[in-house]
Structure 1
Amino acid sequence: MIQEHPFPVEANDTPATQLLHDALPQRWRGLFTAPIVNRFLTSTDAEARVQAAARKAGAQIVTVGESREHRPLHLYRFGETSRRTFWYAGPHANEPVGVSTVVSLAEALAAHPQYLDTIGFDLMVCVDPDSHVANEHWFPSYAGGLRSYYENLYRPARSEFCDWDMPFELEAGDTTFRRESQLPEGDALRKALDLSRPQIVMSLHNAEVGGMYIHQIGGTKTLAGALSTLPGAFTIPAEPAPIDAPGEQPVAPGVFGLPSIADMYGPLFDLTSDHPLNILVMGESAMTWSLRYGAVSLVTEVPLWSPIDALPEPGQTLADVSTEAADRLGEIADWLTAFCEQNAAILPSSDARARSVRDSIGMLAGLSAMLTALAGSPDGPNPATEEDVRRWRLMLSLSVPLRSLGMLLGALRGNDAPDGVVGEVQGRFDAFEALLEGYHYRFHGVDVVSGIQIAAGVAAIENLEAEQ
């Protein structure tokens, strides 16, 4: 076993493994007798550890495809029962906790194979290994800081989200449009899901700054109620709504549905004469796809950091906070548009970071419009809350632009941009980063976030067995 190097955690001295044990039903606590992984893992490390665990457990290893850069994509099938759970990590490269979770789970199952008697575990270490490799150069020395994260992260453009690349058909007017998978990674994920035909799908995302929430697709309100206890069990605040959908109503506190691609884009198709497939940048989600097996899917949005002093200023309203955030997002979207046009020669489309920055401009503008609408809503005059500051100011108007600015710096440096051009972006990055760092945070640690992902999956298994 590789020695793990724990991250510092402020304001919570309880070991992550103890938090996980306390959150699990009694019969599952014996699965995790060793500490779970507490660091980000490279793709090579993670695959090697899961392969070793699979061989120890006699698991089946199935190659379901390969990435755009020809890295093999494996499905590791632990246990032989027909009742399956499916866990996949790495859908967004800047959300790497799930890779550590899969390793912890595989090694625990290899050490305690009796847990495979009644339910099987199908694991994909990383569904987008190329992007993970582009992001992992900073993992070995990472010590939990905000700045080093934003300076080094890579997050693919939305058209390269492989778990939103499932085929789907869309009816618009009298015409039916069909979109096939565009990415080999998306096609491999679909093949793995079709092979597994799972009852439970765990999509292992993590968030950045704020509180946690979980998307639940399918399943029961009983399960949602069980999931709603996890924030308290791990002492992480729960978000009252998804970060990009302030009006979404919860199934249970901190638990929300996830719209299908038709739900997301359908209203837009009614407002434009453009071909629907020209508007769509993504396919259907793996979670909605899995409804065909009768599966319940969980998407875990658990933050690495939570602010401990994100309080509104005296007299501030929701409209004040959301307008400030909307203005900041609109301004950075306009600036990025002009900057990318002026520097197109050193931001080629062949550069993945440059593609992602350009793709982010529309998202930033859309978030600005959403927050402007929120400011003008009937709730606008209400007193601002801690949750408003946490979501609209810190996460949306500071953290999300910092992703783009950090990737822009990486693209410019990788393409030998002049010092003056890099300096202009560095100044913007430093200004946003200083505002974000103006608050104090608790870094939860990779093992705590992994523990929540594991506990959510076990809650789904328990609910499945109770229903049968």
Structure 2
Amino acid sequence: MPSLTVPPPALTGFPTVDALEAAFLALSERAPHLVRRRILGSSRLGEPIAVYEIGDGPAHAVIAGGVHPNEPIGFHTALALAERLVADKGLRHELDMTFHIVPCIDPDGTRLNEGWFASPSDRGAYGRAFYRPAPDEQVEWSFPLSYKRLHFDRVLPETRALADLFDALEPALFVGLHNAEVGGVYFYVSRDDEALVTELSAIPARHDLPLDNGEPESPDLVRLGDAVFRCPTVAERYDYLEGLGLDPLAEASGGGSADYLQRYGTLIMVAELPYWTHDDVVDDAPSGMPYKRVVQDRAERLRALGGTLTGALSRVDAYVTIPSPMLRGARAFAPLMTALADAEDERARRLDIDRIATRAEVFSNEDSVRSFRLRFGGMLLRALEVECAAGVAHDTVRRECDAFRRVYEEWVAEAVRVPLRPLPLADLVGVQLDAVLAAARAAVTA
């Protein structure tokens, strides 16, 4: 069993794009014989995207932070990994890999989240300053893909830079540094490696963190072990929705890294880590509620959320003048809530009415809607406030902004009444770093 990773204990927030790059530059200047820096490409707003290479082994590992810019735990992990590799010659010799670490693949999107980085324990502040790109503007979901009726070739510059790195290296391992929000720790891997699955399931307990026992992110996921799932692809999600009789294009954007890397047989590992947890996330006791009813309730709440968001957008669409990233995101995610409701409705229709949901399943289904409200409602409110702050807001926009702010404040008040516990960032980083090293060992011994 690998030794327990113990990162620095004084982690209280997340580094900005500038602070992260400064830390990596300082490391490369301290160890120029070990750390090589080069530029992969530029973001849509012209910011250079750097990769830092450590080691000289024949196998290649690509580690990328910021693949979703609202998921910054991996910024700490990327730096901790680089520092560990520089300091530990024995580890470099053991793994015999070349690590290509991209600290932040989406600097533009990350900057739009920096407003909450200093106070990650405050769920209300998180939602209020939250930003997630529209699906076709996300690095993770904008790889080229052609599958059945889905054809996507609007590849972002950031995605193109990462894809070019994949093509040049044909990596043995890729780790996109993701994280979740509420619950326990869970993982994705792209192959059924029993030893790796067992190792991943054991890592959180060594850091006193819970495994997630609630509802998976998607009902079509394949479970490989305790809180470990097979890494999903867009093609698989397409087939699942098609099997429900729904239009897969209602959710589709581009391909994911898992779709793209299938050509190279790359091992993919993702460690999903929550900012907060709750006692119910590990409670397998029966809730007394039929699981079918739990899923139906979630569908109803998602449909109501989609209606609220699309209603507000429809009332201002003729008057907004600033095409901000928040507005583009809100326009994309509002109808997606209704599409998700359709999928859950159809899934519920096919479920056995007699099965009783666990308390963990009830909590995760309910909290997923609270999360979507704070996320996408926060983005819509930010978009309206941008218009007002610029002094170009039509009276309709100003009135809608005031009205929607009251709705959003009610959503925040409901969410913060749920007694969540912030998890120590150092332990979350420790789990992710241990998972990266476990995956690296699996990749070189396969």
Contact 1:346 1:415 in 2 (8 A): no
Q: Secondary structure of 2:360's match?
A: helix
Change (3 A) 1:413 1:211: same
Q: Which amino acid aligns with 1:412?
A: L
Give the drift of 1:95.
1.0
2:70 maps to 1:94: yes
Change (3 A) 1:131 1:194: same
Q: Residue in 2 aligned with 1:386?
A: 359
Q: Residue in 1 aligned with 2:13?
A: 39
2:57 maps to 1:81: yes
Alignment gaps of 5+ in structure 2: none
Change (3 A) 1:334 1:205: same
Give the drift of 1:33.
7.1
Q: Distance in 2 between matches of 1:319 and 1:271?
A: 16
User: For residues 200-219 of structure 1, what are the structure 2 equivalents within 5 Å?
Assistant: 200-218=173-191
Give the drift of 1:270.
9.3
Q: TM-score scaled to structure 2, two decimals?
A: 0.88
Q: Distance in 2 between matches of 1:237 and 1:34?
A: 21
Give the drift of 1:37.
4.7
Q: Which amino acid aligns with 2:26?
A: A
Give the drift of 1:329.
1.2
Q: Distance in 2 between matches of 1:401 and 1:348?
A: 24
Q: 1:72 aligns with which of 45, 48, 51?
A: 48
Q: Residue in 1 aligned with 2:225?
A: 252
Q: Which amino acid aligns with 2:408?
A: F
Q: Residue in 2 aligned with 1:409?
A: 381
Q: Distance in 2 between matches of 1:196 and 1:415?
A: 44
Q: Residue in 2 aligned with 1:61?
A: 37
Q: 2:262 aligns with which of 291, 295, 309?
A: 291
Q: Residue in 2 aligned with 1:425?
A: 404
Change (3 A) 1:134 1:34: closer
2:370 maps to 1:398: yes
Q: Distance in 2 between matches of 1:155 and 1:200?
A: 26
2:298 maps to 1:322: no
Q: Which amino acid aligns with 1:169?
A: S
Give the drift of 1:466.
4.2
User: For residues 300-379 of structure 1, what are the structure 2 equivalents within 5 Å?
Assistant: 300-309=271-280, 315-348=288-321, 350-379=323-352
User: For residues 447-466 of structure 1, what are the structure 2 equivalents within 5 Å?
Assistant: 447-466=426-445
Contact 1:167 1:179 in 2 (8 A): yes
Alignment gaps of 5+ in structure 1: 1-23
Q: Distance in 2 between matches of 1:433 and 1:313?
A: 28
Q: Distance in 1 between matches of 2:210 and 2:350?
A: 25
Give the drift of 1:226.
1.4
Q: Secondary structure of 1:209's match?
A: coil
Q: Residue in 1 aligned with 2:2?
A: 25
Q: 2:145 aligns with which of 168, 184, 187?
A: 168
The percentage of aligned residue pairs carrying the same residue is 27
Give the drift of 1:75.
1.4
2:105 maps to 1:134: no
Give the drift of 1:217.
0.9
Give the drift of 1:215.
1.3
2:133 maps to 1:153: no
Q: 1:440 aligns with which of 406, 409, 419?
A: 419
Q: Residue in 1 aligned with 2:161?
A: 188
Q: Distance in 1 between matches of 2:260 and 2:11?
A: 30
Change (3 A) 1:457 1:122: same
Q: 1:261 aligns with which of 225, 234, 254?
A: 234
Contact 2:192 2:224 in 1 (8 A): no
Aligned length: 433
Contact 1:41 1:99 in 2 (8 A): yes
Give the drift of 1:363.
2.1
Q: Distance in 1 between matches of 2:266 and 2:196?
A: 13
Q: TM-score scaled to structure 1, two decimals?
A: 0.84
2:80 maps to 1:104: yes
Q: Which amino acid aligns with 1:306?
A: T
Q: Secondary structure of 1:231's match?
A: helix
Q: Distance in 1 between matches of 2:42 and 2:234?
A: 25
Q: Distance in 1 between matches of 2:408 and 2:139?
A: 28
Q: Which amino acid aligns with 2:295?
A: S
Give the drift of 1:294.
2.6
CA RMSD in angstroms comes to 2.9
Q: Distance in 2 between matches of 1:442 and 1:458?
A: 28
2:26 maps to 1:52: yes
Change (3 A) 1:136 1:327: same
Change (3 A) 1:356 1:304: same
Give the drift of 1:262.
2.3
Change (3 A) 1:120 1:432: same
Q: Secondary structure of 1:88's match?
A: strand
Contact 2:292 2:351 in 1 (8 A): no
Contact 1:85 1:200 in 2 (8 A): yes
Give the drift of 1:168.
2.9
Give the drift of 1:158.
0.3
Change (3 A) 1:63 1:463: same
Change (3 A) 1:351 1:207: same
Q: Distance in 2 between matches of 1:376 and 1:266?
A: 18
Give the drift of 1:269.
7.2
CA-to-partner distance for each residue in 1:243-274, whole Å, 9 max, x for gaps?
A: 332253311111111332222224667999x9
Q: Which amino acid aligns with 1:150?
A: G
Give the drift of 1:349.
6.8
Q: Which amino acid aligns with 1:307?
A: H
Contact 1:217 1:298 in 2 (8 A): yes
Give the drift of 1:223.
1.1
CA-to-partner distance for each residue in 1:168-198, whole Å, 9 max, x for gaps?
A: 33355xxxx8643521011011112223332
